[in-house]
Structure formats: C-alpha cells, structure tokens
Amino acid sequence: MTLPADLSPLLAPLEDLARRAGTVIMEVYDSADFAVRDKSDASPVTEADEKAEAIILPGLAALTPGVPVVAEESVAAGRIPEIGAGPFWLVDPLDGTKEFIKRNGEFTVNIGLIKDGVPVLGVVLAPARGELWSGTGASAFKEDAQGRRPIACRPLPATGAVVQTSRSHRNPEAMDTWLKQFPGATLGFAGSSLKFCLVAEGTADLYPRFGPTCEWDIAAASAVLLAAGGSVTTFDGTPMAYGKAPKFLNPDFIARGKA
C-alpha cells in the first residue's frame, strides 16, 4: 500500500482502534484477578497485552493493507515481519505492564507509524485515565473529560524545567548528574509513554531515558511529540532512528519540548 502524503484521515480510525484495545484491557484490569507470567526476557506479560494485540493487528491490516506491523508480543513469540524500506507500524498493545500490574493506571496503548525511519503518525491511549493523545504532521491533540483540543510543546524555561522520569525504570545517579545543567529543575514521575505526552502537551519539558527501550515503546508517543513541536534525539543530538531490526532496541535518548 502506498500511503497518502496527508496522513490525517488515518487519525480517527486509529484512535478508534486504540479505544477498542483499551476496552479489552480495562476488562482484564477491572477483573478480580489476572495471571502474570514472564517472557523469555524476564519482562512480565498478561492476557490484557495479548487480547489488545489481537484487536490491533487485524485492525491495522484492514486500515493499511500490506503495511508490516512490528508488535511487541508477536516479536516475543518470534514473529518478526520483513519491514524492508517501506513504511511499517510499531505497536505496544500495553505499554507499562508493570504499572498495569500495580493497578496505578499509568499504562497505555501505543500505535505508531514509521516512514523513512521517522514516526509520522501516532496514537497513545491511557484507558484507565480516560486520556488520549494523537498526532501527525504539525498537528497534535489531547482528548479527555474536557473534550478534544490541540496541544503543543512549550519552550524550555531558563530555570525550573519540569523533567519527567520513569516510575519503574530509574537511574538516579545518571539523572542527578544530567540535571545539573538545568537550574531549578524539578522531577515528575510517570509510567509508560505518558512522559512523552506530558512534554507534548506542555506540562513538562524534558524526558531523558537512561537505559534500554524498544522501538514500540516510544514510536507512537514520539510521533505525538514531533507533531507537537518537540524532538527525540540521542544524547549527542542525533535524531532517533527506527527500523533497527531484528531487536529494535533504542539507545539512551532525550525527549524535548521546543528548543
């Protein structure tokens, strides 16, 4: 399939697909109990991860026939499609499984489209919080109980930057050293890809990541951030690249608002 230059018509059906996945996730989340097991890399997985992916994959196949989908649970099972040089999807059906298990609500559905190594379309749904972020081109949006509205990153303040960090994957020593360049910075804590979304909506300024992530962890939220005027680079300033098969592992990075 040849994708159109204007991807905005894909936003609404992609948001609906994320909501459908969110519905099955919340059915598991709200149940009295659910099973948790470890994958081969020792990371946890639940039936919610698998049920959500089982909705997203056929939905994307119908929306963009022939565009490969690299999805976390499929990759864990050894099903890695050939992505070639064309566009492909990156899917994390339940980002923040540890937060899901803790029942703190800070988990998301992530669906991102990659074209020429760049995230060009993304939807992030936080079903327990009733919040959705999406973006493509130069347009990004947030939808919650107050309705739907455009969002944009804010310029980095001279002092008092708000820096997001992970609840479950922290490197305090590296963070403390890095923060010294930002006078008066304060730390905020959030799970999953919510950290990107807070930068995209202008309630945070920076999210440095020290430690491994996979492309499906960040693609959708990176697309939202880019559409909101932000950036995602390695620590030497190189834009994050996608399509690093077969493991799809990312280097350390910084998600930023406006320069």
Task: Measure the CA–CA gap between 252 and 57, rounded to whole angstroms.
Answer: 28
189 Rama sector, left if φ>0, alpha if ψ -120 to 50, beta otherwise? beta
The residue ranges of every structural domain in the chain are 8-150, 162-256
pLDDT of residue 38: 78
* Helices 47-63 & 11-29 angle (0-180, nearest 10): 160
Reported residue count of the chain is 259
* Residue 22 CB contacts under 8 Å (≥ 6 apart), including other chains: 52, 109, 125, 127
Task: Measure the CA–CA gap between 240 and 222, rounded to whole angstroms.
Answer: 9
Q: Are 108 and 124 in contact (CB under 8 A)?
A: yes
**pLDDT tens sequence across 136-189:** 999 999 999 999 999 999 999 999 999 999 876 778 889 999 999 999 999 999
- Chunk the chain into consecutive blocks of 10 residues (it has 259) and report each block's average pLDDT, rounded to whole numbers: 92 98 96 80 84 97 97 94 95 93 94 97 98 98 98 96 85 90 95 95 97 96 98 97 95 94
| Exposed / middle / buried, residue 63 (Cβ in 10 Å: 0-12, 13-18, 19+) | middle
**Residue 57, number of CB atoms within 10 A of its CB:** 18
CATH 3.30.540.10 is right for the domain spanning 8-150:
yes
Q: Are 140 and 164 in contact (CB under 8 A)?
A: no
Helices (H), 81-135: 97-102
DSSP reduced 3-state for 32: coil
Tokens of 3: 């994708």
Task: Determine if the pTM surpasses 0.85.
Answer: yes
Task: Measure the CA–CA gap between 35 and 101, rounded to whole angstroms.
Answer: 10
CATH numeric code, 162-256: 3.40.190.80
pLDDT of residue 216: 98
